[in-house]
Structure 1
Amino acid sequence: MKKFKKVVVGGTFDRLHLGHKALLRKAFEVGKIVYIGLTSDEMVREKPYAEKILPYERRLRDLLLFLEVNNLKEYRIIKINNAIGFTTKIKSLEAIVVSEETYKGALLVNKAREEVGLRPLEIIVIPLVKSKLGGKISSSLIRAGLIDPFGNPIHHQNL
């Protein structure tokens, strides 16, 4: 059941993994229209293994493919250059979907909205998706070659 008309979710969405997919599915579950902030190449330069992050155009293509395959239609993808992105520009946003790890980002968004006279967004938090190694599935671990996008450990053969 759609609870909100417009929700926002954001991220780098590098090497779409189960955690990303859970986040996106939750956003579409609770929102009629989902605004997706996709980080620019400039914004990801400080991330772990930044040199291995796929370029924006490739991440956008992968995201569009996921949305198409899952028949998710009501969305807008907007390139963002910082954590606040467009959230202070679209007054009609009602909620933000984050993981436990990115909850602090939602607080920053709400602070920025309040500073420009907008009401804060309702924060919807999903639990982290765990890998088979026990920790969370993350793009950093995938880029490091430790797990695959499903959270399975990658066993390296000794050469």
Structure 2
Amino acid sequence: MKVMVGGTFDPLHDGHRQLLGRSFELAGPAGHVVIGLTTDQFASRKVHPIRPFAVRKADLETAITAMGYKVLWAIEPLNDRYGSAIESDFDAIVVSEETLPAAVDINRIRRETGRRKVDIHQISCVLAEDGRWISSTRIYRGEIDIHGHMLR
């Protein structure tokens, strides 16, 4: 199965690890995972600073390698909400609660352009110790660490 997933992944936190883990799990040993990594220009819309694409890509490659998945995978630049998901041939997309609307849009656009829809797999966002979502914004604000432990 070919699976797509996307994000900024900065910093890479436990919510991202769950998203990636589900993607590799769905793909299975003979599958393929395509990870869309937001470009610097697209990521600049974030409210907090973002490290350069090359740095985020290197961190993502290191993390995936450390996870030990034996599945083919590739990282591609993500210049907008949809990336190559509109035109690529793939089976499923993995999203969080926060990014579900983009996946719904992808299927709508695919249908409108005569392409088959893809399965949408939504994971639940990982919660920090305080019961709120782990997010890069909260990490940058110094509220929590990448595992959701409170810092204040």
TM-score when scaled to structure 1?
0.89
Deviations 1:76-134 (A, max 9, x none): 1110110110012312x011001112111111111221222111110001111000122
**Is 1:19 the counterpart of 2:15 in the alignment?**
yes
* Aligned amino acid, residue 103 of structure 2: A
Residues 133 and 153 in structure 1, CA contact (< 8 A), matched pair in contact too: yes
**Is 1:38 the counterpart of 2:34 in the alignment?**
no
Distance 2:73 2:64 in 1: 9
One of 81, 84, 104 as aligned partner of 2:82: 84
Distance 1:111 1:38 in 2: 22
3-state SS of paired residue (1:8): strand
Distance 2:105 2:74 in 1: 22
**Is 1:99 the counterpart of 2:100 in the alignment?**
no
3-state SS of paired residue (1:100): coil
Distance 1:75 1:116 in 2: 27
Deviations 1:46-98 (A, max 9, x none): 1121xx2111111101100011111224111110110110012312x011001
Superposition misfits of 4+ residues, deviation over 4 angstroms: none
Distance 1:152 1:36 in 2: 27
3-state SS of paired residue (1:67): helix
Paired residue total: 148
One of 112, 121, 129 as aligned partner of 2:126: 129
Distance 2:127 2:135 in 1: 9
| Structure 1 residues without counterparts, runs of 5 or longer | none
Distance 1:23 1:41 in 2: 21
Residues 53 and 143 in structure 1, CA contact (< 8 A), matched pair in contact too: no
**Is 1:47 the counterpart of 2:55 in the alignment?**
no
Deviations 1:5-32 (A, max 9, x none): 1010000011110000000000000111
TM-score when scaled to structure 2?
0.93
Distance 1:149 1:64 in 2: 17
The aligned residue for residue 74 of structure 1 is 72
Aligned-residue Cα RMSD (Å) equals: 1.0
* Aligned amino acid, residue 45 of structure 1: S
* Aligned amino acid, residue 53 of structure 1: I
